[in-house]
Amino acid sequence: MTLLGKLTLQALPLQEPLALYSGFGVFAIVLAILAWVIIKGYGPYVWREWITSVDHKRIGVMYCILAFVMLLRGMADAIMMRAQQAMAYNAPGYLPPSHFDQVFSAHGTIMIFFVAMPFVIGLMNVIVPLQLGVRDVAFPTLNSVSFWLTAAGVLLVNLSLVVGEFDKTGWLPYPPLSELRYSPGVGVDYYCWSLQISGIGTLMTGINFVTTILKLRAPGMHYTRMPMFCWTALASNLLIVAAFPVLTATLAMLLLDRYVGFHFFTDTGGGNSMMFMNLIWAWGHPEVYILALPAFGIYSEVVSTFSNKPLFGYRSMIYATMAICIISFTVWLHHFFTMGAGADVNAIFGIASMIIAVPTGVKIFNWLFTMYGGHVRFTSPMLWSIGFIVTFAIGGMTGVLLAVPPADFQLHNSVFLVAHFHNVIIGAVIFGVFAGYVYWFPKAFGFTLDETLGKWAFWLWLIGFWVAWGPGYVVGLEGMTRRLQHYDVAEWRPWLIVAEWGVVIVLLGIAAQIAQIVVSVRTREQRRDVTGDPWDGRNLEWSTASPPPPFNFAVLPDVTDQEPYWDMKERAREMGHLTRPEPEYQPIHMPRNSATGFVTAFLAVVTGFALIWHIWWLVVLGLIGAYATFVVFAWRDHDEDLIPVEEVARLDRANRAARSAALQHRQLRREAETQREPRE
Ligand code: HEM
Ligand SMILES: [Cu+2]
């Protein structure tokens, strides 16, 4: 036992130039960005306004940036796998098996935990408090801790690229393969500790948002007046609170097996490896809906805004959401019908899985009926939504097919399954967060994104997705199993080459998204939106300035309708002016910035790294540091800053003036339009 535990120079990938160069490349880029920030003198600003910020909007934006950067990493893995499979027909390709295994494991882990999750949570952070008409989430500092713990998990996963190795067992570490005996390296430990750390962050987000939505709503906002995105966020966070502890406990058991010789999951020692599958999927299936439900909420907002109509079947949408929330806990066994539980058990879980399609179908029809007869504006958020409806309907149907146990016995572990879940997760979750990103971007930054490039991005993603994953269904039906590093079946080859081109098209879509940001930032003065309401929106997030002031609302809005902001605008249109007289402004207390989250995350990385490499003294040091941080935070004297009344009044007056001008402008345009088109 040395001072550095298991860590030696051999942990560096000196024999694997690819990993070495890409690892150090990333390291160099990060250093370059840091140097740029410091040299340009942005350091204090970044520290004060972002790193230590407890403002939900800033935290949300940081989540989204983190997710987008990790999407680039996940896509790099995807293109590597696709290139390998296009080459490795009767040949070894360019990735040796041990490296290929790490690539698919890292790709899956990163895409689910560090792309989809932070993107969804980021959008909830930016928007939910605004839609509820409140000033922040229930526990702002905890929110910052959640974000930074997620970032800590991201850092550890990426560190495994250069120090040691990553997990080779797939995105879920099934025993016995993941037990010490068959995976003696640090890969599984990197996986477990990254997810334990970020998982605690996610659980705290769940607690934070459930509390916020249940307890902090603007006066008059009953449950049946909450925007659909808030409802789906509530459902998603309830699922987080119920499911994430299961994940934490399951990984803790695996860690006990690996670190201290327990036998929870080793069949020889009195344990049961199938127990791991049951537990991990008791978290895993709800996880699907943790991601998908908020995306459904985004589509509801977008479809209603751009159809200029209230959401069709609002109440049925709530019932459907909550039904999915509950049923999602009763289907986990469809992930291992082949376990051998017997026909009755399989039938019950098969039927339960198909039942979820019913509330989901209700939602699809509600979106279609919202569009029906509406004045649909085909903006890019709307295109993502329509692309979603088509893509997701097909992906959903292949899911129902897989829920038929005899069919699943054939298709289990085949590329057909992998095509199915990419079909739903890209079609629903990724398209959804992109729709939300374009839709709410002007809210967060005060200017709109370039529409032409946005539409390019959409079409490239849509076509690229189908070219990449359509062939997956075909080779899956032809019997190709998943995770193949090489193969010798000639019929698969052309399809795998087509699939490689699909990823290239998706990459062009991502390039369009990057170009969209660059172009939009450069031309931001022309695209500035002073009204805070660029799309003629219907919910409260559009009733405040863009970007919103730190306190969101100078005076908390009074909610009297299910579409509060639309309702206010209608009344104002009737009367020809803003209906509310200027309020009596009050100074506002806002929670003070805190380095707690950042420091906690730093210590979490140190502790996690030490645990992975068995550096026990550093573990102790890290834990003491974490406790000290907690004590310092708990004993702080000043936890709030006061925003003076003049500042509140100044910001709000500017917004009121812009809003009233916009109102008159729209009023004139409306009158002109009604004079032109004769009434039907
Ligand atoms: C167009 C973009 C994408 C492409 C081309 C792609 C490609 C791939 C490939 C080639 C595999 C391995 C298939 C095999 O087992 O043979 C894979 C696995 C996987 N992908 Fe993707 N992927 C993409 C996007 C995503 C996204 C957005 C997510 C989730 C948010 C995701 C989640 C996963 C997961 C969980 C696995 C399973 C990993 C495992 O086998 O353990 N992928 N992907
Ligand atoms: Cu499932």
Q: How much distance in Å is there from the Cα of 78 to the middle of ligand 1?
A: 7
| Minimum-distance ligand 1 atom for the alpha carbon of 506 | 1
Give percent of the chain with pLDDT exceeding 90: 76
Q: How much distance in Å is there from the Cα of 240 to the middle of ligand 2?
A: 15
List pLDDT tens digits, range 44-55: 999 999 999 999
Whose C-alpha lies nearest to ligand 1, atom 9? 78
Whose C-alpha lies nearest to ligand 1, atom 4? 78
Q: How much distance in Å is there from the Cα of 67 to the middle of ligand 1?
A: 16
The predicted structure's pLDDT at residue 676: 62
Q: Indicate which residues carry an active-site annotation.
A: 63, 73, 77, 81, 104, 125, 136, 143, 146, 150, 202, 205, 212, 285, 287, 289, 300, 316, 360, 363, 420-422
Tell me which amino acid residue 323 is: A
List pLDDT tens digits, range 101-141: 999 999 999 999 999 999 999 999 999 999 999 999 999 99
Instruction: Verify whether ligand 1 is closer than 6 Å to residue 107 (CB atom).
Output: yes
Q: What is the mean pLDDT of residues 390-404?
A: 93
Q: Residue 279 pLDDT > 60, yes or no?
A: yes
The predicted structure's pLDDT at residue 675: 67
Q: Look at 272-276, 364-368, 534-538, 635-639 and tell me which has the smallest mean pLDDT.
A: 635-639
Instruction: Verify whether ligand 1 is closer than 6 Å to residue 600 (CB atom).
Output: no
Q: How much distance in Å is there from the Cα of 171 to the middle of ligand 2?
A: 15
673 vs 624: CA distance, rounded Å: 68
Residues 6+ apart with CB under 8 A from 362: 313, 316, 317, 319, 320
The predicted structure's pLDDT at residue 680: 42
140 vs 146: CA distance, rounded Å: 10
Whose C-alpha lies nearest to ligand 1, atom 41? 170
Give percent of the chain with pLDDT exceeding 70: 98
List pLDDT tens digits, range 555-599: 888 888 888 899 888 888 777 777 677 888 899 999 999 999 999
Question: How many CB atoms lie under 10 A from the CB of residue 638?
Answer: 6
Q: How much distance in Å is there from the Cα of 448 to the middle of ligand 2?
A: 37
30: confidence class by pLDDT, cuts 50, 70, 90: confident
Q: Which of 116, 123, 322 is nearest to 223 (CA)?
A: 322
Q: What is the mean pLDDT of residues 412-424?
A: 95
List pLDDT tens digits, range 453-505: 999 999 999 999 999 999 999 999 999 999 999 999 999 999 999 999 999 99
The predicted structure's pLDDT at residue 679: 46
Q: What is the mean pLDDT of residues 56-69?
A: 96
The predicted structure's pLDDT at residue 1: 56
674: confidence class by pLDDT, cuts 50, 70, 90: low
Q: Are 149 and 200 in contact (CB under 8 A)?
A: yes
Q: Across all residues in the chain, what is the average pLDDT?
A: 92
Is the pLDDT higher at 572 or at 386?
A: 386
185 vs 614: CA distance, rounded Å: 12
Q: Residue 5 pLDDT > 60, yes or no?
A: yes
21: confidence class by pLDDT, cuts 50, 70, 90: confident
Instruction: Verify whether ligand 1 is closer than 6 Å to residue 112 (CB atom).
Output: yes
Q: Residue 154 pLDDT > 80, yes or no?
A: yes
The predicted structure's pLDDT at residue 19: 73
Question: How open is the CA angle 670-132-542, to the nearest 5 degrees?
Answer: 25
Q: Residue 28 pLDDT > 90, yes or no?
A: no
| Minimum-distance ligand 1 atom for the alpha carbon of 82 | 10
Instruction: Verify whether ligand 1 is closer than 6 Å to residue 454 (CB atom).
Output: no
List pLDDT tens digits, range 304-324: 999 999 999 999 999 999 999
List pLDDT tens digits, range 172-213: 999 999 999 999 999 999 999 999 999 999 999 999 999 999
Whose C-alpha lies nearest to ligand 1, atom 29? 111
Rounded to a whole number of angstroms, the CA Rg of the chain reads: 26
Chain position carrying tokens 């790193």: 51
Instruction: Verify whether ligand 1 is closer than 6 Å to residue 258 (CB atom).
Output: no
